[in-house]
Amino acid sequence: MPISKKTGILLINVGTPASPDTASVRKYLAEFLMDKRVVSMPTLLRFCLVYGLILPFRSSKSAHAYQSVWDENKGSPLLSISQSFTEKLQQHLGEKYVVALGMRYGSPSIATALDTLRAQQVDKIIVAPLYPQYASATTSSAFEAVFDGLKQQSIFPVLKTIDAFYYRQEYIQAKANVIRPFLKEKWDSILFSYHGLPFAQVKQSEANTPVNCDKNLACPTINKVNRNCYRAQCYQTTELLAKALGLAASDYGVSFQSRVGKNRWIGPDTESALKTLIQQGKKNVLVVCPSFVADCLETLEEISLRAKELWLSLGGESLTAIPCLNDSPEWVASFAKIILSESIDSMHFAQPLSAAISVTVSDLA
């Protein structure tokens, strides 16, 4: 049999429940929240918190939320968009590549995607988590699941892992191009709302120098010390997008959504940010969610439905949720460039990125 010359591409996203009923959502949430990188505490404590406190209350509430966005024919928006993106990336890249989708929680699993790639005899895999910003809970959790899935194989494929890509011009330009048409509409302010993270997890990302996140000082600016800090990367994403769109500092703000549990998360939270905007007399707001490449529960329910309802109840006139990149042809082509061109030399900590980023090679040497 000829040796395969194909390269595998393993796309990874968080995943979604099999259906929007309480039992399926509970099963999905249990898998999600028992990941030690997501709820980072000792196993027994995590078990008690997840099974004792979170699941009994959250499962039916989340199921209800999923029902409000579930498509009768296509099912979960996150899954159907991710599948369409996978197919389009395959078409774009052609037959030298095999593109497979693996969800970190739920189905299709990462193990199934690895089986698909193995069946095609690929001997090199590009592992590409679909998260623009780095977090241990997402990017590293995805990598860990891939390594676990390969553990039983006697021959490991050659692996190339794709890190955060928030700083890549291909991502920034594609995202800016989605946002730009909305700037022609009536708006008073733009809110860049990112998925939140427990405060303890951003502190961990600044290993050895846990000072910036603590004092909330250097976090909004990416530098040598905090280059893996999720919050710093979110602020940097915002600056790069603002620059690409020609926004003034007074035009926009940053917030964090989707908090789970009672412990401290990074802020400001999106609800509070909306309340502040109302107090400032803003009436029309655009909300952009740059930590999600595909529309999902957190954009379609939390922002388009719930945040909008809050905004109108506070006296706002319009809240427009700007769609994610989804499966647009531009994003497919841009993502192909990101994953095929990235090498260790071009990663964000090894070179100056743009005028908006203040690090230089000598800073990082």
Ligand X SMILES: C=CC1=C(C)c2cc3[nH]c(cc4nc(cc5[nH]c(cc1n2)c(C)c5CCC(=O)O)C(CCC(=O)O)=C4C)c(C)c3C=C
The residues of the shown chain that bind ligand X, judged by CB under 6 A, are 14, 16, 29, 32-33, 38-39, 58, 62, 76, 78, 131, 135, 137-138, 195, 197-198, 230, 258, 260, 291-292, 296-298
**Partner from ligand X, Fe ion, none binding residue 319, C-beta < 5-8 Å depending on class:** none
Residue 138, interface with Fe ion (CB under 5 A)? no
Smallest gap from Cβ 154 to ligand X, in A, equals 34
Cβ proximity of 114 and 146 under 8 Å: yes
Neighbour-count burial of 83, counting CB atoms closer than 10 A to its CB (0-12 exposed, 13-18 middle, 19+ buried)? middle
> Which residue in 59, 226, 270, 334 binds Fe ion (CB under 5 A)?
226
Alpha-carbon radius of gyration of the chain? 20
Q: Minimal distance in Å, beta carbon 329 to ligand X?
A: 22
Q: Does 229 bind Fe ion (CB under 5 A)?
A: yes
Contact partner, 348, from Fe ion, ligand X, none, Cβ < 5-8 Å per class: none
How far is residue 95 from each of residues 99, 157, 172, 257, measured CA to CA in Å? 10, 19, 28, 40
Q: How far is the CB of 135 from ligand X (least distance, A)?
A: 4
- Min CB(282)–ligand X separation in Å: 27
Question: Does residue 49 belong to the site contacting Fe ion (CB under 5 A)?
Answer: no
Q: Which does 226 bind (CB under 5 to 8 A by kind): Fe ion, ligand X, none?
A: Fe ion
Q: With respect to Fe ion, which residue has the nearer C-beta, 157 or 196?
A: 196
**What is the nearest approach in angstroms of ligand X to the Cβ of residue 298?**
5
Kindly state whether residue 213 participates in binding Fe ion, applying the rule CB under 5 A.
yes
Residue 213 C-beta-side C-alpha neighbours within 13 Å: 27
d(CA 168, CA 295): 20
Is residue 195 a known part of a binding site?
yes
Q: Give the long-range contacts of residues 330-337, CB within 8 A, separation 24 or more.
A: 330/174, 330/177, 331/85, 331/174, 331/293, 332/85, 332/88, 332/89, 332/92, 333/92, 334/170, 334/171, 334/173, 334/174, 335/85, 335/89, 335/128, 335/170, 335/171, 336/89, 336/92, 336/93, 337/170
Quick note: the x/- pattern for Fe ion over 68-87, rule CB under 5 A, is --------------------
Contact region with Fe ion (CB under 5 A), list: 150-158, 186-194, 209-217, 243-251: 209-217
* Contacting Fe ion within 230-249 (CB under 5 A): 231-232
- The listed partner (ligand X, Fe ion, none) that binds 78, CB under 5 to 8 Å by sort, is ligand X
Q: Output the smallest distance, CB 117 to ligand X, in A.
A: 23
Q: Does 255 bind Fe ion (CB under 5 A)?
A: no
Can you give the binding site for Fe ion, defined by CB under 5 A?
A: 212-213, 219, 226, 229, 231-232
Residue ranges for the binding site? Answer: 195, 298
Binding residues for Fe(2+): 195, 298
